[in-house]
Amino acid sequence: MKKNKKKQSKDFIGKAIIIIILIIGVFFTYNFVKTALSEDSNILSDQIWCSNCQTYHDKATSDAEQNQKLVWCVNCKTYHAPGQE
C-alpha cells in the first residue's frame, strides 16, 4: 500500500511539473507572437533612425534634415540649423 501511494505521489508531481512547463511555454509563445505582430513594436521599412531626435522618421523627413546644414549647438547639446535656437 505504501509503494502504491508513493508511486501515485510521484506521478502527480511529474504531471504537475509537465503542466507547469507547458503553461509557461504557451505564455511565452503567446507574448512573443503578440509582440512581433504589434504595430507599435514594428519598424516600417520606410523609416530611418534619427540619432538627433532619438526616434524613427520617414525617409523624406530624414532626407530633408540631411539636406540642411546642421551645426552643433553648445547650449542645446544637439545639432540644429544655423540661426534656429
Q: Where are the domains of the chain?
A: 1-42, 47-80
Alpha-carbon span 51 to 40, nearest angstrom: 19
pLDDT at 77: 78
pLDDT at 57: 75
pTM here?
Answer: 0.42
Write out the three cell numbers for 42.
514594428
Residues 38-75: tens digit of each pLDDT: 766 555 567 777 776 777 777 777 777 666 667 777 77
Say if CB 65 and CB 58 are below 8 A apart.
no
Do 12 and 19 touch, CB atoms closer than 8 A?
no
Instruction: Decide: 61 and 49 in contact? Cβ < 8 Å.
Output: no
